[in-house]
Structure 1
Amino acid sequence: MTTLRMPAAVRAVQAAEAPAAPRSVVLGVDTHKDVHVAAVLDHLGALLRTGEFPARDT
């Protein structure tokens, strides 16, 4: 039985051309009296962005 293997260069090109898997993100909001703080984490737990927003009565 003969096993054929794909050359590494071909595998690398195929991997580079493959569409990226969709990422999921998590948004967390910490509410306070005067300001709310939000953080966005990616699917691996890496911090993507933070922000502060004033807490207002409407």
Structure 2
Amino acid sequence: MARFATAHADVYERHRRELSELSATGRIRTAVHAELPLEEASKAHETVESRANPGKVVLRTS
């Protein structure tokens, strides 16, 4: 991704703005598979490493 962003900065920036707008207006959302307390970080790692998560794995700090 970094190589594309560097080589095509104008396209990357345009897409970044479009995605930010879609997210801000609620037209797209991040898929969250699990939300776990920080104390269960090992479980979160196991989930990600097993590729069993169709969405993001989020660790809560409070």
Q: Same fold (TM over 0.5)?
A: no
Which of the two has greater strand per residue?
A: 1
Q: TM-score, normalised by structure 1?
A: 0.26
Q: TM-score, normalised by structure 2?
A: 0.25
Which of the two has greater helix per residue?
A: 2
Greater relative contact order (CA < 8 Å, ≥ 6 in sequence): 2
